[in-house]
Structure 1
């Protein structure tokens, strides 16, 4: 059960009601926190072909205003047809991806599982013994990949929004309220997690699933999350810029959302997936991993879930697999999604990849921008011959 946060907890939300403050945070994470680069490798950047299309009739200015857009990039059939950076953003500066980064961890985990290095049916504590007895340690890897861990922290009733802010306080001391005496590292935070039910029995969107999974991947490979992402993806993608993760006080990456990269390089991830895991004639991610993002929801997990930011009366019409959101539309679309409007949208049936970075206020008083509807409208327009 989720409870409404008491007024005394509003101190945890400071800063997130001001787009200017959000924009400062989303564009300057490595200036505000310790960070570790995700190396782009030594190869030349892979060019992105460009052929601008006329999208003026699709209401982009209104969308940008509603979403506090910082970057918007559209690729159709492998070509960039639109790229813009409102509010003074710059193409070469990495931007906060927020929870869209969860999907990149899912991509790494699925790749290691495909290689036989990760057992999806094993409990997380098999790889990270100190998590034994916690909600995440007693969950299977498969449960972590599908947000299937009923959890509460330190005996508190679970409230998703407040626990997200408390997580931010773990990794960013400047966000801690006066008198804070909670965990100061990600690992300490995970150790306070207690199960509220059997794993795999419900969908509970919670950062700890991803942080526990990232620790499992570090134990398997002996690599930091940054180096693992570089080895598996970033240095093989043809990226233009290094990406980076912000770190906690122990030097551990905030894997569930502390990742920043440019819109052009995130678009390269989307294009790789649209092309079955390949970059040109080089297979970077196993084709099966890319193909089963949409089709691979295992038996026993919900086929329909509700988007976390959706109003309570919204229908449960999405699926969730390996930390990706699946739209269940006619085009096989799926996305990585983060707070404040961060999206990587891939629609194989429309030959479409869209990246959106924003600084949108998240509040019941502010209507969310209809990003996915806009992406689909653009895709249908381009797919039908619009230019």
Structure 2
């Protein structure tokens, strides 16, 4: 594993005391995650701005051997900036860090705008940790995803959640009335999704300030029939974490510690944003080192034993992700305008599944997070690509998902 020297790190983004004070002075719950250096600083220093719960590591570090491929830095790929060598795009694009593993070894790694030791915000990549926990509980017979949410959370009886299967929640097809894609979802204190985020302390107070996330979530109604469409809504992920808490009798951060983080030889503790009432943000609040995110990704590949003494992702769970999705959900969903998915050709997604955004024809799957976070896993090629970033000056995320596809295709 390559250890970065002081000289190498100096080219990365450092911040003066004056800059740090400035970022804190201008911090705004409305604007902190939009773009620019204040966003990059916040993404790398989340505990300075929000309460967090610790997800503890344990045991020896699972070392990732360095096996750099000399062809990757100069590999020319399609990007929004034209055909560029990967190294050139990483330097020019809104990328904080990227690591590529093949057969459990680091074949490419760059940190143009962060330290390897940084705990970087994952945004919605956090969601697949919740689905992994539910799958572990499935494997133990503690959760049946065909049953309704109310089976595990009695408090939601009589709400829109009653009768919604856990699988529909996993696949963002609950039909619940809490539209995250609405234009005012993050700006109107009376909007249903705004009230969810505000209850976690991630937005300024809503009209019903003081209501706990659990109590608020249990009041939500139904917008459409469950199982009809992929209506992207992060409250689904919160419900998955709530199910896990009810089944295990533990808090979500403790569940992640016991079931995943303490078992993968992580370099550092992870964190998850937490409200002052104790609810965590499983949909977008995890912060981890980039290499540790890649270690988690290895659990879905044949090289899982590089980081874990036991297979934490079962063959059943992997098969459910790769083969049991429902194509009609994406087609009927609210997130991708007509024709947008087709523009991803030649790798047009087949479906979404278990909180993963896309499952591809080759069996690979991807989860993205706002601002340019990503985890791309190709089990058949034994490749993991993990990356962090922020929105660029144009308001767009990096092209690393597409670049990951191109790299995997050439290395497979």
Residue range with higher mean Cα deviation, 347-356 or 316-325:
316-325
Of 19-28 and 333-342, more deviation after overlay is shown by 19-28
Offset of 1:281 from its aligned partner? 5.5
Q: Deviation digits for residues 109-167 of structure 1, max 9, x if unmatched?
A: 011112100021221122212212322344111111111122324xxx77446435624
- Residue 182 of structure 1 and its aligned partner are, at CA, apart by 4.5
Asked if the contact 1:341/1:357 (under 8 Å) is kept, the reply is: yes
Q: What is the match of residue 254 of structure 1? A: 281
Instruction: State the SS of the aligned residue for 1:74.
Output: strand
Q: 1:145 to 1:131 in 2, by over 3 A?
A: same
CA contact (8 A) 1:63 1:369 kept: no
Structure 2: which 5+ runs fail to align? 1-27, 76-84, 188-193, 343-347
Query: Which residue number corresponds to residue 163 of structure 1?
Result: 185
Q: Does 1:324 align with 2:356?
A: yes
- Root-mean-square deviation (Å): 2.7
Corresponding residue for residue 62 of structure 2? 46
Secondary structure (helix, strand or coil) at the match of 1:274 reads coil
Q: Deviations over 1:246-268 (max 9, x none)?
A: 10121111111111111111111
Shift in Å, 1:93? 2.0
Task: Give the distance between the partners of 2:368 and 2:332, measured in 1 at CA.
Answer: 14
The number of residues matched between the two structures is: 361
Structure 2 residue 319 is the aligned partner of structure 1 residue 294: no
Shift of 1:357: 0.6
The 3 A distance-change label for structure 1 pair 162 and 25 is farther
Query: TM-score, normalised to structure 2's length?
Result: 0.79
The Cα shift of 1:26 comes to: 1.2
For the structure 1 residues 276 and 289, does the alpha-carbon distance in structure 2 shift closer, same or farther, using more than 3 Å as the test? farther
Classify 1:311/1:341 alpha carbon distance in 2 versus 1 (closer, same or farther; 3 Å).
farther
Q: Which residue of 2 is the match for residue 379 of structure 1? A: 408
Query: Aligned equivalents of 1:132 and 1:176: distance in 2?
Result: 29
Residues 257-276 of structure 1: pairs in structure 2 closer than 5 A: 257-275=284-302
Which of 343, 349, 358 is the aligned partner of 2:380? 349
Instruction: Return closer, same or farther for 1:118/1:217 CA change in 2, 3 Å cut-off.
Output: same
Unaligned 5+ residue runs, structure 1? Answer: 1-10
1 CA distance for matches of 2:297 and 2:183? 28
CA contact (8 A) 2:180 2:232 kept: no
Instruction: Report Cα offsets for 1:305-362 as digits up to 9, x if no partner.
Output: 7794x55541364311111133323x3210222111111111123321110111115x
Distance 2:227 2:334 in 1: 18
- Structure 2 residue aligned with 1:28: 45
Answer 1 or 2: higher relative contact order, Cα 8 Å, separation at least 6: 1
1:211 matched to 2:238 = yes
SS in 2 for 1:282: coil
Whole-Å Cα distance in 1 between the matches of residues 314 and 180 of structure 2?
37
Q: Shift of residue 183 of structure 1?
A: 5.8
More off after superposition, 373-382 vs 204-213: 373-382
Change (3 A) 1:138 1:21: farther
**Change in CA separation of 1:326 and 1:301 when aligned onto 2, cut-off 3 Å:** same
For residue 69 of structure 1, report the CA deviation from its aligned partner. 1.1
